[in-house]
């Protein structure tokens, strides 16, 4: 019996040694979960606040997203194959509008809590690594309304070269913001120019 236990332990140790990536992935996921939970806690605190006005909530959420979202990567994904065609001058304006657009859209999707008896919470409890380089993570969780599950939420996170997590997509109840905008923009750009897209977006979000 003792021998069998020893053998199992040996096999387990060997498996760990030859597959160090699994423990690294776990570490990455732990950090991704930590990041997502901190971000959602801050978001929920703002949304549930009875002291802040709607405009103040909007401004706080926007500040929070500025720090935690990678608007550049998000903007590139949204452009799809046209990302290669954008020039430096256009980029400056485009990413600025994307930031405004994403902040507004995320806020619109999250906001609607005017009832003080309704408390929202988000629990992120599942993470898995995407790709093979340990730089992308999908963190899944649930949005709760009081004690009842309201929707599922998925964060697509990416680890930048400074080892900071950044959000590149928010999927709420199955609706991915980045993929939705990607389809919209690529369809638009199949007939029109990037300048026209930027002008159109500026009109809407500036």
Partner 1 sequence: MCINKIIKLVNCGPTFALLFLLSSVYNANADVFIPFEQTIADQYNMPSSSIQEVEEVTEPVAVVSFEQTIEDQYNSPYALTEIQVKDVSEEVFDYSLYDPNEEKNRKTFEFHQKLDKNLFKPLARTYRDVVPEGGRKAIKNFLHNLETPTVLINDVLQGEQERAGTTVNRFVINTTVGFLGFGDPATDLGYDRHSEDFAQTLATYGVESGPYSYSPIFGPTTSRHTTGRVIDFLTHPLTWYFTDQDATVGLTYGATRVVSTRENLLDALEDVEMDSTDYYVSIRNMYRQMRENQINNGLFGDDPSQFSIDTSIDLNLVF
Name the site residues for partner 1 (rule: CB under 8 A).
70, 72-73, 76-77, 80-81, 83-84, 101, 104-105, 108-110, 112-113, 120, 128, 130-133, 135-136, 138, 140, 143, 145, 148-152, 154, 156, 158-161, 168-169, 171-176, 178-180, 182-185, 187-188, 197, 200-201, 204-205
In the complex, least distance from residue 158 CB atom to partner 1, rounded to whole angstroms: 6
Smallest separation (angstroms) from partner 1 to the CB of 17 = 25
Shortest distance (Å) from residue 142 CB to partner 1:
9
Between the alpha carbon of residue 118 and those of residues 135, 147, 177, the distances in Å are: 36, 10, 25
Q: Which residues pair with 120 in a beta bridge?
A: 145
Least distance (Å) between residue 39 CB and partner 1? 18
Residue ranges in the chain assigned as alpha helix (H)? 2-18, 20-48, 54-68, 71-79, 88-110, 177-189, 194-205
7 or 85: CB nearest partner 1: 85
> What tokens appear for 78 in the block?
């949204």
Shortest approach of partner 1 to residue 34 CB, angstroms? Answer: 20
Q: Which is nearer to partner 1, 39 or 177 (CB)?
A: 177
**DSSP label of 146:** T
Other beta carbons less than 10 A from residue 24's beta carbon: 12
Q: Which residues pair with 22 in a beta bridge?
A: none
């Amino acid at each position: 019996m003792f021998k069998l236990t020893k053998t199992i332990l040996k096999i387990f140790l060997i498996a760990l040694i030859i597959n160090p990536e699994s423990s690294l992935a776990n570490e990455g996921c732990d950090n991704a979960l930590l990041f997502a939970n901190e971000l959602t806690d801050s978001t929920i605190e703002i949304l549930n606040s009875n002291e802040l006005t709607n405009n103040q909530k909007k401004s706080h959420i926007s500040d929070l997203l500025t720090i935690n979202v990678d608007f550049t990567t998000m903007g590139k994904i949204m452009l799809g194959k046209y990302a290669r065609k954008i020039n430096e001058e256009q980029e400056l304006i485009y990413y600025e509008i994307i930031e405004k657009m994403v902040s507004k859209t995320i806020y619109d999707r999250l906001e609607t809590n005017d009832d003080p008896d309704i408390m929202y919470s988000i629990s992120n409890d599942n993470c898995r690594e995407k790709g093979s380089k340990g730089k992308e993570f999908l963190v899944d969780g649930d949005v709760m309304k009081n004690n009842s599950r309201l929707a599922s939420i998925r964060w697509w996170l990416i680890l930048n070269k400074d080892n900071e997590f950044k959000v590149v997509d928010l999927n709420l109840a199955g609706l991915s913001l980045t993929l939705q905008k990607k389809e919209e923009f690529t369809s638009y750009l199949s007939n029109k120019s990037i300048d026209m897209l930027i002008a159109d977006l500026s009109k809407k979000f500036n």
